[in-house]
């Protein structure tokens, strides 16, 4: 996936350079900083951190709600990136931003798996009020089409998604929130394209089953 070309997110779009020349300059500058950091230049790595921290935080924010969790993912991602700098090779389809995004997604996945072993909230944690709201919402014909106005609370959304496995959640967030294609997800996760498709299908079925309980 080349994150620089992802226009689905306004926050990401703001960070993107306008012209190709500007992008090339930025990328070459990133490469120079990576070279510096490889040589032990702490300031170069700090500059890389300042450039990309928002981007990594946005990725983490897709999966985690609490600021502490997002900060944890940011720290872990940059620590992993620091020790993997020698593995980074700058090619046209592999910019530093994309490489770092891959590390960030993998860190989120690891964190999701860790949390799955100690689930914080389950479906039983859905309050009576949330349950009633969702049931009402599902029973109307307008459900789905006018869902944004129905205000599905983020709390409830997070609780429902916490029922899914880490792999399911990763795929659904990448597909629906990041707007990535199956091929891009396969490239980011290192999975095969069929595996991503199967996983997405299963994840949707799982989510449907969870929602049917409210009917």
List contacts with another protein (CB under 8 A). 11, 42, 46, 49-50, 53-54, 56-58, 60-67, 70-71, 74-76, 78-79, 82-83, 137-138, 143-145, 147-148, 152-154, 156-158, 160-161, 172-173, 176-178, 204, 207-208, 211-212
Give every CB contact of residue 171 below 8 A, 6+ residues apart in sequence.
Answer: 185, 196, 199, 200, 203
For residues 29 and 162, which CB has a smaller minimum distance to another protein in the complex? Answer: 162
Q: How far is the CB of 117 from another protein (least distance, A)?
A: 20
Q: How far is the CB of 203 from another protein (least distance, A)?
A: 9
For residues 45 and 99, which CB has a smaller minimum distance to another protein in the complex? Answer: 45
For residues 115 and 207, which CB has a smaller minimum distance to another protein in the complex? Answer: 207
For residues 22 and 142, which CB has a smaller minimum distance to another protein in the complex? Answer: 142
Q: How far is the CB of 19 from another protein (least distance, A)?
A: 26
Q: How many residues are listed for the chain in this entry?
A: 215
User: Which one, of 14, 7, 212, 199, lies nearest residue 109 by Cα?
Assistant: 199
Helix 42-63 to helix 20-38 angle, to the nearest 10 degrees? 120
Q: How far is the CB of 21 from another protein (least distance, A)?
A: 27
Query: CA 196 → CA 15, 91, 98, distances in Å?
Result: 29, 25, 19
User: Which one, of 173, 176, 208, 201, lies nearest residue 189 by Cα?
Assistant: 173
């Amino acid at each position: 996936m080349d994150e620089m070309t992802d226009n689905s997110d306004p926050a990401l779009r703001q960070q993107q350079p306008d012209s190709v020349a500007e992008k090339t300059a930025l990328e070459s500058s990133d490469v120079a900083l990576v070279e510096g950091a490889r040589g032990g230049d702490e300031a170069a790595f700090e500059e890389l951190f300042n450039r990309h921290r928002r981007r990594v935080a946005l990725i983490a924010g897709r999966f985690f709600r609490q600021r502490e969790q997002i900060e944890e993912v940011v720290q872990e991602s940059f620590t992993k990136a620091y020790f993997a700098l020698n593995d980074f090779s700058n090619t046209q389809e592999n910019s530093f931003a994309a490489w770092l995004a891959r590390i960030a997604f993998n860190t989120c996945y690891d964190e999701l798996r860790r949390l799955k072993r100690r689930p914080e909230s389950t479906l039983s944690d859905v309050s009576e009020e949330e349950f009633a709201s969702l049931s009402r919402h599902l029973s109307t014909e307008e459900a789905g089409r006018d869902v944004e106005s129905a205000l599905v609370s983020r709390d409830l959304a997070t609780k429902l998604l916490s029922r899914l496995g880490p792999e399911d959640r990763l795929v659904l967030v990448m597909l629906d929130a990041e707007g990535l294609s199956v091929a891009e997800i396969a490239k980011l996760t290192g999975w095969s394209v069929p595996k991503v498709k199967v996983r997405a299908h299963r994840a949707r079925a799982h989510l449907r089953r969870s929602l049917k309980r409210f009917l």
